[in-house]
Structure 1
Amino acid sequence: MYVDFGRPTWIWRRLGTALRVDRRTALVCGVLTAAVLVLGVLTLGTGSISLTPAQVLTALTDPGSDRRARLVVMDWRLPRLLFALVCGAALAISGALFQSLTKNPLGSPDIIGFSSGSYAGASVVMLLLGTANYLAIATGSLIGGAATALVVYLLAYRHGLHPFRLIIVGIAVGAGLSSLTSMLLLSVSPQQAMLAATWAAGSLSGLGFEQLGPTIAVFLVLLICSTATVRPLTQLELGDDAAVALGVRANRARLAGTVVGVALTALVTAAVGPIAFVALAAPQIAQRLTRSSTTLRIVPAALTGALVLVAADFAAQRVELPVGVVTVCVGGAYLAWLLARQYATRR
């Protein structure tokens, strides 16, 4: 029996089960994967010691190749690239979750204020406790993000969690936390303030496999959790009444999506510092590429986020700036365009 899904679809049947794959989404994911691989090779060859793509590929695949090239690629640059891939994917998934929750393209964790909570938690560890230990900063970032989410959730909850109320309360709480962080920076020594400000720029430098292992492990757990929230959140986009009629517990689904989204944002902030606008832009770009009716497509969003952050890091290495500065410059222009477009469509 033929079923028309409204879009070209591939159906794979085996052992009494069937897997349906949207054809355009699969093609887009393939192109994004190829682009990430090509840009990754170029990134591994960029730096004070320049390497050709052939040298990079040889260093990655041949243990007996030039020792200097393998040292540069495997020990110095590969962890940075893998961090860019993981952090870009995590931010994009977090943005997709919050944009689905709020039904608004501006509903990303950096706009709502959850990134500010993670930054504030890490700043307290660095400035008040006086430690630059990676694990301590990561713990402070996770606690700060979770506490911010709890405060925003409690303040925004009135007989249910209204998306618009969540955005407004989140922006207000984020502004307050940014002021608190600024006050902390002004109350400490210039050396401490410089340390926190450098970390706040968002940088992939100085990271190795020692930090990469725990980050990937936590990301994989959160990735599994995020896939479990896709179906109820997608049904909530139809409206609470329709979702409840389908058996979805609206408030529980929103709480689960919020927790997973905040955890993904805090994970990235803990690892590399606050990186703005990737969570805002990547889900929207993925939605336009796949021509989907929802931003909550985990795989295309993750691949788009990874590509955006790898591209930003490639540009950052060229101009010798932290990657967070590049994403702010590009993302600010994107935000202005998005706001103008939203205004134009509502006139």
Structure 2
Amino acid sequence: MNTRWITLALLTIIIAIVSMLTGVANLSITQVVSAIVAGGEFDFVVNQYRLPRLILALGVGAGLGISGALVQGVIRNPLASPDLIGVSAGAGFVATLLLTVFPGAPVWSLPIAAMIGGVSVGLLLIVIAKQANLPPARMALTGIAISAFLASGIDYLLVVHPIEINTAMIWLTGSLWGRGWEQMPFIWIGLLTLLPYSMWLAWRLDIIGLGDESAISLGIELDRVQAAALMSAVMLASLSVSIAGTISFVGLLAPHLSRLLFGHNHKALLIGAASIGALLVLIADTIARGIAPPIELPAGVLTSVIGAPYFIFLLKRYKGW
């Protein structure tokens, strides 16, 4: 177990170093360290471009990983993720609405708009599930329906406002291009606030995993814990999407890989999902920047290339769910 944590940490450090060296200007470790310490010739490239992107990639990936683990813990379906229950679509719809209808809106308004969209969909899902007394599996199906509806709304906005389509498409495909220090407080304050709360929920999710009747008999307030965990997941996913757009499948992949490496205990699972999610987004962003500079691919395209086949594999594996 300790070896796996150490290996994951070392791999993240190695990819972080590669990320700082890679781009249109290939730098040496000496040049990077010199720029961080003393500024100089490569101050802008290192301190205003690559370093904030690296830190944001780690935060966005961690947020998506924790969110996915919480969603799967609540819905008790290994195929559940923030993408599938409509949170990413909600954030994407409101953000696209802002980018197309109010193209001159200030930079800080985009994360707030995306947060409003994601949280609104999360609240709607909770209300529908409570009013209709939906079981977890049907809650996931309801989220998929909401997601499909909002996706059609996004398509409509892009067709009606073709002039602003480029800006919206870059954001919708998931990218850290153009992101910097001004976005940092949104994701990291959210993580530092919601991660401890998620860890507090961890043992309760372990008990819920035993079944509703067992959890209630052991004193767990089922509806309250599920709502709290789902809202934490929604807020983390919304924060991540608000920064980097819709980077698909990280919320699905990270919890699965964490479960394979660290088991089903939610405390280890959440930390593992955060670490693996951070690593996945960092790898995707590094490849997106370094594969064919100065052209930059959206990081979300790369995560989809990996995530879509894995999702098909999971569909076949869990066809009885």
TM-based fold match above 0.5: yes
What do residues 180-199 of structure 1 show as CA deviations (whole Å, max 9, x unaligned)? 111111112x2212221121
1-structure distance, mates of 2:103, 2:40: 39
Q: What residue in structure 2 maps to residue 67 of structure 1? A: 40
Q: Does 1:328 align with 2:304?
A: yes
Question: Of the two, which has the highest radius of gyration?
Answer: 1
In structure 2, do the counterparts of structure 1 residues 57 and 130 end up closer, same or farther at CA, with 3 Å as the change threshold? closer
Two-structure CA RMSD over aligned residues (Å): 2.0
Q: Partner of 2:100 in structure 1?
A: 127
Which residue of structure 2 lines up, in the alignment, with residue 90 of structure 1?
63
Q: Which residue of 1 aligns with 2:261?
A: 289
- Letter of the structure 1 residue corresponding to residue 242 of structure 2: A
Aligned-pair identity in percent equals 33
Q: CA deviation at 1:222?
A: 1.7
Most deviating of 123-132 and 297-306? 123-132
Give 1:69 shift. 3.7
Asked if the contact 2:186/2:239 (under 8 Å) is kept, the reply is no
Structure 2 partner of 1:19: none
Give the 3-state SS of the residue equivalent to 2:247 in structure 1.
Answer: coil
1:129–1:206 CA distance, 2 compared to 1 (3 A): closer
Pairwise CA distance, 1:161: 4.7
1:258 corresponds, among 230, 239, 249, to 230
CA–CA distance in structure 2, aligned partners of residues 159 and 184 of structure 1: 31
Q: What's the secondary structure of 2:41's corresponding residue?
A: helix
For the residues of structure 2 that align with 1:214 and 1:151, how far apart are their CA atoms?
A: 23
CA contact (8 A) 1:117 1:148 kept: yes
Which of 105, 119, 125 is the matching residue for 1:152? 125
Higher relative contact order (CA 8 A, sep 6+): 2
What is the aligned residue count? 317
Q: Is residue 28 of structure 1 aligned with residue 4 of structure 2?
A: yes
* Residues in 1 aligned to 2:214 and 2:168: alpha-carbon distance in whole angstroms: 47
**Which consecutive residues of structure 1, in runs of 5 or more, have no partner in the other structure?**
1-23
Deviation at 1:238, TM superposition (A): 0.7
2: distance between equivalents of 1:56 and 1:330?
30
| Equivalent residue, structure 1, for 2:245 | 273
The AA in structure 1 aligned to 2:259 is Q
Give 1:302-313 correspondences, 5 Å limit.
302-313=274-285
2:13 corresponding residue in structure 1: 37
C-alpha separation between the residues in 1 aligned to 2:230 and 2:264?
A: 22
Matched, 1:234 2:206: yes
Q: Is residue 171 of structure 1 aligned with residue 144 of structure 2? A: yes
Could you tell me how far apart the structure 2 residues matched to 1:53 and 1:288 are?
34
1:58 deviates by: 5.0
Worse-matched range after superposition: 229-238 or 93-102 = 229-238
TM-score normalised by the chain length of structure 1? 0.86
Deviation of residue 167 (structure 1)? Answer: 0.6
SS of the equivalent of 2:83 reads helix
Amino acid at match of 2:308: G
Which residues of structure 2 form unaligned runs of 5+?
none
- 1:59 deviates by 4.3
Task: Give the corresponding residue for 2:286.
Answer: 314
SS in 2 for 1:111: coil
Partner SS, residue 248 of structure 2: coil
Contact 1:278 1:309 in 2 (8 A): yes
**Residues 1:182 and 2:150 are matched in the alignment:** no
- Structure 1 residues 206, 220: closer, same or farther in 2, change over 3 A? same
The aligned amino acid for 2:158 is L
1:159 is displaced (CA, Å) by: 6.7
Check the 8 A contact 1:161/1:251 in 2, yes or no: no
Per-residue CA shift, 1:51-105, capped at 9, x if unaligned? 2345434544xx24x7224442222200000010000000000000001111111
Is structure 2 residue 76 aligned with structure 1 residue 103? yes
The one-letter code matched in structure 2 to 1:36 is T
Q: Deviations over 1:258-296 (max 9, x none)?
A: 111000111011111111100010110111112436697
Counterpart of 2:89 (choices 116, 125, 141) is 116
Counterpart in the other structure of 1:214: 186
Amino acid at match of 1:286: S
